[in-house]
């Protein structure tokens, strides 16, 4: 029996309490709202058409829902990757600035906190090579009370330039340190 069967309405014609757009099966054919018999093949054709329409709508709805879900999933993954990248670049850029600012100073003890936090950030968010260089720096600093940061700063600069889609630079890092001398009068 079809879910809906169209029959002309006269407004008040109800069969068994159902609106006249619904039909009831009797024998081989169906009885319409006005008592006319329909041919059984017409009803079957309407049933098939109704199911085809329902199937098309169901497939369309399913494709739309799945498409929306897949689009949302990939968009969410892309946004998460972008946030991670932004966070990593921000922290490594700050670590680069702290290391560059604290290195090659007359009194490195004044910049202990900068060294410590920069090395911690690099060990957390740096590449495996940067983590190894930071570890090497920390071990040498603890053992010898001095160590070179040149390789670590150079590697940080190269990876940050790459992340920011800037051209690589092959020259060594130059540390500009301006000292002021007091002129005794």
pLDDT at 94: 96
Q: Which residue has tokens 């039909």? A: 23
How large is the average pLDDT for residues 154-182?
88
How large is the average pLDDT for residues 110-133?
95
Please give the full DSSP string across 35-50, using - where no structure is assigned: S-EE-HHHHHHHHHHH
State yes or no: pLDDT of 13 exceeds 70: no
| Averaged confidence pLDDT in the chain | 81
Could you read off the pLDDT of 70-109 as tens digits, one per residue? Answer: 999 999 999 999 999 999 999 999 999 999 999 888 887 8
Higher-confidence residue of 37 and 129: namely 129
89 within 8 A of 162, measured Cβ to Cβ: no
* Residue burial 102-137, b: 16+ Cβ < 10 Å; e: rest: bbeeeeeeebeebbeebbebbeebbeeebeebbeeb
Could you read off the pLDDT of 36-81 as tens digits, one per residue? Answer: 555 555 555 667 778 888 888 999 999 999 999 999 999 999 999 9
CB atoms within 10 A of CB 30: 21
What is the C-alpha R_g of the chain? 39
33 within 8 A of 9, measured Cβ to Cβ: yes
How large is the average pLDDT for residues 14-18?
50
Question: Cα–Cα distance between 163 and 158 in angstroms, integer?
Answer: 9
pLDDT at 26: 44
Q: How confident is the model at residue 145 (pLDDT cuts 50, 70, 90)?
A: confident
Higher-confidence residue of 137 and 178: namely 137
> Residue 54 has which token pair?
């329902």
Q: What angle do CA 33, 39, 42 make, to 5 degrees?
A: 90
Coil, strand or helix: which one is 88? helix
Higher-confidence residue of 70 and 28: namely 70
């Amino acid at each position: 029996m079809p879910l809906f069967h169209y029959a002309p309405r006269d407004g008040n014609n109800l069969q068994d309490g159902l609106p006249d757009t619904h039909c009831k099966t009797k024998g081989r054919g169906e009885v319409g709202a006005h008592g006319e018999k329909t041919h059984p093949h017409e009803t079957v054709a309407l049933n098939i058409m109704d199911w085809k329409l329902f199937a098309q709508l169901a497939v369309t709805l399913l494709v739309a829902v799945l498409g929306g879900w897949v689009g949302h999933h990939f968009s969410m993954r892309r946004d998460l990757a972008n946030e991670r990248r932004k966070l990593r670049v921000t922290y490594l850029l700050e670590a680069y600035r702290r290391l560059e600012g604290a290195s090659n100073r007359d009194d490195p003890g004044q910049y202990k906190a900068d060294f410590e936090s920069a090395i911690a950030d690099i060990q957390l968010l740096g590449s495996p090579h940067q983590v190894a260089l930071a570890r090497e720096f920390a071990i040498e600093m603890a053992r010898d009370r001095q160590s070179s940061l040149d390789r670590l700063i150079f590697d940080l600069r190269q990876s940050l330039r790459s992340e920011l889609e800037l051209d690589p630079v092959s020259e060594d890092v130059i540390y500009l340190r301006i000292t002021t001398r007091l002129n005794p009068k």
